[in-house]
Structure 1
Amino acid sequence: MTTATVSADRLLRRAARRGGGWTALLAVASLADAVAITVLPLVLARTVDALLGGGGAAASALWLCAVLVAAGAAAEACTELAAGSGTAGATAWLRHTLVRHVLAAGPGLRLPPGEVTSRVVGGAAEAGVAPAALTQAAAALVPPVGALAVLVVTDWRIALTIVVALPLIALLLRLFVRDITATAHRYLDVQGAIAARLTEALNGARTIAAAGTPEREVRRVLEPLPELADEGRRMWRTQGDVAARGLLALLLLQVAVVAVAGVEVMTARITPGEFIAAVQYAGLAAGFGPVVTHLLRLGRARAGAARAAEILERPALTYGTSGLPPGPGRLELRGVAAAGVLDGVDLVVPGGAAVAVVGRSGTGKSLLAALAGRLADPDAGEILLDGVPLRDLSRPALRGAVGYAFARPALFGETLRDAIGFGLARPAAPRVREAARTARADAFIRRLPAGYATPPGDAPLSGGELQRLGLARAFAHAGRLLVLDDATSSLDTATEMQITDALLGGSGGGAGLGDRTRLIIAHRAGTAARADLVAWLDGGRVRAYGAHHVLWRDPAYRAVFGAEAP
């Protein structure tokens, strides 16, 4: 059994426990239905014998048959209700668990958004069926086992006829579960690949339209479709092969049972009623159709659970319990390595200083920014804020101390006021407005019909306006450390200069930014020149660290900024 299968089965057991009373009701109802199905042929046999014998017990036997039929129908109705409700509960728990882990892992998850969505939505739905499928598959074994037990008591020769065929049936079921699980896993993998490509295309819809290549993108997104169809056909072919072979085995078995039972009737070892029951019990003993149906669902569920378990095995950020002592926001990186990009980075950002991080594309600037506020953990090394390792800080302490602004911010909340205040602690309205003024967002927000009460989806925002709202959110929440990851790339020159003034201590400060430690991913020589210090990343390490005018003497440093020579 592979590690993925073990993890999937463990996840399914946890999901089954979330079914609560519905799982218990399903087990009881399924068992009651199975018992009614198993006992009914025996009661029918007694009824037939009573009718042929002309005894007065026939009426009672008929009533008992009616009761069994009614009980079976009621149990089947309860089974459907419990299966649906239990599946819904297990699926909801799986989705909650996956979404919670995905958001806790954050950028460290390193899976395409479409793939994640496919596993959370589709994979969880497949896996949520497992508790009901397993319970019903177990209950479906009761009629075959019970039928064989009754036949052993009735006539051991008939039972022996069935026992001889059971190993073949068991082998067919075992091969079916193995094949259907593997096929379902491949099917879901291809389905996830299509979802990932579609998400990429939707995110790049403007680029596709501008390039005039929608048909080409359609072909790219749907390129795995033939493979998906092949896996689907393979899945149904596997099921059809097992069903066909099983049906042939069942027919041959019933013919053999009829022949043996006929001989037993003629020799008066069994009654006519028992002959009828034997034929019915032969069908039950080898009737694995319901079992196959539930095993098919279980195989797909295990495949979905395996894909979900792969997400849950990705490490998520866990927080400590420590708080921060009073301090200026000194940030220190000691021997930090991450993602094969950064290798042994040592860097000290003095409290209250503005440090620009520069370097060519791919040198790890955004990765360093993510590590600085623990959006991700390093593979090696340690990062400290005012002497406390970031891993030891509680979530409120860390997120209250660090504010982030990104190149492509996302807005969350019912209104723009909510979007700026989005965080663990919501800033007061005056602070929100002050942060918006500092980010040069207040003016265009007030021009909107509902002002700060405008829903983000109703606001026609340009790229620069969106970045200003992201900056406002960072300004409103930054406690000691403010991290800007290419957060001014879409601003016009005048607005960028105004915000740079606020960030780097010029006129128009506001929001109390001057006393915060600022780590700025910079692409322009002008921004680096106004920072207190510059950290020059090259080859996964800090190649140089100092004032911009000192580093400017190095031709290689000037080459980082290309045409921005003095």
Structure 2
Amino acid sequence: MARGAAPNGAETEREKSKRVGALRQLAPFMRPYRVLVALAGFALVLTASLSLALPMAVRRVVDNFGTESDALLDKYFGAAVIIAALLALGTGLRYALVTTLGERVVADIRKAVFDRVIAMSPGFFERLMTGEVLSRITTDTTLILSVIGSSISVALRNVLIFLGGLALMLLTSAKLTGLVLLIVPLVIVPILVMGRRLRVLSRENQDWIAASSGNASEALTSVQTVQAFTHEAASRALFGDVTEKSYVVARRRISVRAVMTVLVMFLVFTGVVGVLWIGARDVRLGSMSSGELVQFVIYAVMVAGAVAALSEIWGELQRAAGATERLVELLEAEDAVSDPESPAKLKRPVQGEISFEKVTFSYPSRPQTAALDAVDLVIRPGETVALVGPSGAGKTTIVQLIQRFYDPQAGRVLLDGQDLKTLTRADFRREIALVPQDPVIFAASARDNIRFGHEEATDAEVEAAAKAAAAHEFISALPEGYDSPLGERGVLLSGGQKQRIAIARAILRDAPVLLLDEATSALDAESERAVQAAVDRLSEGRTTIVVAHRLATVKKADRIVVMEDGRVAATGTHDELVAGGGLYARLAKLQFTDGAMD
């Protein structure tokens, strides 16, 4: 990845990055927990108030030391212990409340982001790597947890101590307070100037971390391919390069933050020392008491410490602001495919008629290349139609548009005469069963993988579907039978076994529309015969669309649609198309496994 091109156009996004005000976008997630926020706020004010009360007790002890009775001094010290105990309890309560609030809010954010992303159409993931989405859900929410569960609370406490301490300093000595206030502009300037730079670097750092996660996710999910092509060294180098760039940006961010902290702390404490020197002269001249000076110094140290802490927390808030922006981008991302505001209701029972009317479509990542070009196609209820043609002809695209993973740029796709755009996707997808070319197996048991097609199915129904898909025998041979875990992405199964699990899943769904995208491509001859028999039984009374190269599958179709360059080149039965010559006859001769021309 070239350094000049930050991941996913991040440079452009950083230009629009907001300041800490972006954290206001967390408000909707905190609103349901107003009581928790109020209690945390009460504990916060209590601890800050008690902290500000301690110097007053110290002043009384210092001013009256040697002049008051031992009993009175004991009361002063006793009061200080009580204040300290209340302060400790309040601090513990504040910690428990804000940490609970942080965990609750972040859990809600993670769920909201996942709920949003899981419903996004495939076109969304053409623009954003899955690894980056996961990085935002994990790394970015961890930053927000740190801020809500700690930084904001500490920041507010320090703001209260700063304001309260400043007011009490003014009451203690207006002269010394005036001198202290002269230091404030010197402290604020580096915070504002360097804070802007810190915000940009924080966002850039997070972008490179996300790119690193995306790179690692892609390599690890394809680890067998990486190793088969001895690409480990190149994959290591690419991941190392992206990770190193993340580190370089992080180092710059750390340097800026360190310099800002050094400047602020030096200016603050130098000012305090100067003011203390002047106060000591006033005590010698008798214009203020020793207790007042001690009280003033304690407040000055508290205020200085609050400013120093705020300058440090500012960096955390900047990072969290960037993380919030990135998460809000996901929550507010526009999907190219969306449900209508007032959807029509799918007419049931579904007959299964599928119509393409002058459909033209290009994938978002290849807008100049038409995957389908003015396609007209009607598939009658209960009809089995085979789609054949060379790679890139548009066969799988038709299957994807039937599921409305994408919307065509022109034309309409209809189910039983209803435009899919007028229906909710969940409504009509319930009536479709899919067996993809590359079956997806989840890291769950064999039973749960099959039940994925119909969550309410009984164990008996699951096993019946597995038998129909010729999967029962190998599943039963697994160590724990149907309860055996299949591993991540089904690594414990062969390609043919994965496909039979996927077919069992589709059989169990029992939908009126069946989509088979190269469903038998990974099966051996014996398994294919068993599965083909199951598919034949399953296809009865259902609209079935088969994308296949195998002659045995194609010959049994009611109709064959030949695709070429995104268009329908010819339609007919196997015998009609072979007799007519042309593309289908050539494909039958060159590609079909039987090689028969009968």
Superposed counterparts of 1:9-408, under 5 Å: 9=23, 11-17=25-31, 21-51=35-65, 54=68, 58-105=73-120, 107-110=122-125, 111-132=128-149, 133-287=151-305, 288-315=307-334, 318=339, 320=343, 322-334=345-357, 335=359, 337=361, 338-339=363-364, 340=367, 341-342=370-371, 344-378=374-408, 381-393=411-423, 397-408=427-438
CA 1:324–1:95 in 2, change beyond 3 Å: closer, same or farther? same
Change beyond 3 A, Cα 1:410–1:281: same
Equivalent of 1:519 in 502, 525, 545? 545
Asked if 1:542 is matched to 2:559, the reply is: no
CA gap 1:244/1:350 in 2 versus in 1, 3 angstroms = same
Give deviations 1:285-321, integer Å, cap 9, x for gaps. 3332322343333222222222322322334654847
Q: After alignment, is 377-386 or 303-312 more displaced? A: 377-386
Instruction: Tell me which moved more, 36-45 or 466-475.
Output: 36-45
Displacement of 1:330 after TM fit? 0.8
Contact 1:120 1:308 (C-alpha < 8 Å) held by counterparts = yes
Cα RMSD over matched residues? 3.3
Check whether the contact 1:413–1:422 (CA below 8 A) recurs between aligned residues: no
Q: 1:506 corresponds to which residue?
A: none
Query: What residue identity is the alignment partner of 2:172?
Result: T
| Structure 1 unmatched runs, 5+ | 504-508
With 234-243 and 73-82 compared, the bigger mean Cα shift is at: 73-82
Q: Deviations over 1:198-253 (max 9, x none)?
A: 22222222223333343333222222222122122122212211110011101221
On the 8 A contact 1:347/1:542 being kept in 2, the answer is: no
Give me the whole-angstrom Cα distance separating, in 2, the residues matched to 1:18 and 1:225: 38
What TM-score results when the alignment is normalised by the length of structure 1?
A: 0.87
- Distance in 1 (CA, whole Å) between partners of 2:491 and 2:298 is 70
Residue equivalent to 2:557: 531
Partner letter of residue 123 of structure 1? D
For 2:345, the aligned partner's letter is S
Q: Aligned AA for 1:521?
A: V
Distance 2:231 2:491 in 1: 29
Looking at structure 2, the residues matched to 551 and 161 of structure 1 have their Cα atoms a distance apart, in angstroms, of: 96
d(CA) in 2 for partners of 1:194, 1:459:
25
Rounded to whole Å, the distance in 2 between the matches of 1:561 and 1:36 is 87
Distance (Å, rounded) in 2 between the aligned partners of 1:519 and 1:185: 47
1:479 equivalent in structure 2: 511
Mean CA deviation greater in 464-473 or 482-491: 482-491
Q: Match for 1:373: what amino acid? A: Q
Q: Is the 8 A contact 1:4 1:309 kept in 2?
A: no
Shift of 1:529: 4.6
CA contact (8 A) 1:463 1:490 kept: yes
**Pairwise CA distance, 1:53:** 5.2
Contact 1:355 1:535 in 2 (8 A): yes
**Amino acid across the alignment from 1:47:** V
Tell me the distance in 1 between the aligned counterparts of 2:179 and 2:235.
Answer: 61
Any gaps of 5 or more consecutive residues in structure 2? 1-13
Residue 166 of structure 1 deviates from its aligned partner by 1.4
Asked if the contact 2:103–2:145 (Cα under 8 Å) also holds between the matched residues in 1, the reply is yes
- Take 2:94 and 2:585, find their aligned partners in 1: how far apart are those partners? 74
> Is residue 99–residue 148 contact of structure 2 (8 Å, CA) maintained in 1?
no
Identity of aligned residues (%): 25
Contact 2:264 2:311 in 1 (8 A): no
Determine if the alignment matches structure 1 residue 563 to structure 2 residue 582: no
Q: Any idea what SS the aligned residue of 2:381 has? A: coil
Residue 357 of structure 1: SS of its match in structure 2? strand
- Normalising by structure 2, report the TM-score: 0.83
Contact 1:15 1:128 in 2 (8 A): no
Q: What CA distance in whole angstroms lies between the structure 1 residues aligned with 2:411 and 2:152?
A: 46
1:419 maps onto 2:437 in alignment: no
What CA deviation, in whole Å up to 9, does each residue of 1:508-530 have, x standing for no partner?
x333x221111222345664454
Q: 86-95 or 419-428: which moved more?
A: 419-428
| In structure 1, distance between residues paired with 2:445 and 2:414 | 35
Distance 2:141 2:225 in 1: 33
Contact 1:16-1:130 at 8 Å conserved across structures: no
AA in 2 matched with 1:410: V
Give the 3 Å change call, closer, same or farther, for CA 250–459 of structure 1 in structure 2. Answer: closer
Q: Please state how far the C-alpha of 1:97 moved relative to its aligned partner.
A: 1.7
| SS, match of residue 356 in structure 2 | strand
Identify if the C-alpha distance between structure 1 residues 520 and 490 changes in structure 2 by more than 3 Å, giving closer, same or farther. same
Following TM superposition, by how much is the alpha carbon of 1:462 offset from its aligned partner in structure 2, in angstroms? Answer: 1.1
Instruction: Report the Cα distance in structure 2 between the residues aligned to 1:485 and 1:166, rounded to whole angstroms.
Output: 69
Pair 1:470 & 2:495 matched: no
Q: In structure 2, do the counterparts of structure 1 residues 366 and 427 end up closer, same or farther at CA, with 3 Å as the change threshold?
A: same
Name the stretch that deviates more: 18-27 or 326-335.
Answer: 18-27
Answer whether contact 1:336 1:346 (CA < 8 A) is retained: no
1:555: Cα distance to partner? 4.4
Deviations 1:141-161 (A, max 9, x none): 111111221222233222221
CA contact (8 A) 2:387 2:546 kept: yes
Cα offsets for 1:385-429 (capped at 9, x unmatched)? 112333444566423311011122233485423322223553355
Aligned-partner SS, 2:119: helix
Evaluate the alpha carbon distance shift between residue 424 and residue 28 of structure 1 in structure 2; reply closer, same or farther with a 3 A threshold: farther
- Paired with 1:432 and 1:510, the residues of 2 have a C-alpha distance of 17
How far 1:473 moved relative to its partner?
0.9
Distance 1:262 1:559, change over 3 A: farther
With over 3 angstroms needed to count, the CA separation of the structure-2 counterparts of 1:372 and 1:266, relative to structure 1, is same
SS of aligned partner of 2:241: coil
1:329-358 deviation line (CA, Å, top 9, x unaligned): 011234353523545544332221222334
Asked if structure 1 preserves the Cα contact closer than 8 Å seen for 2:454 and 2:509, the reply is no
Give, as a single letter, the amino acid of the residue that structure 2 aligns with 1:261. G
1:380 deviates by 5.7
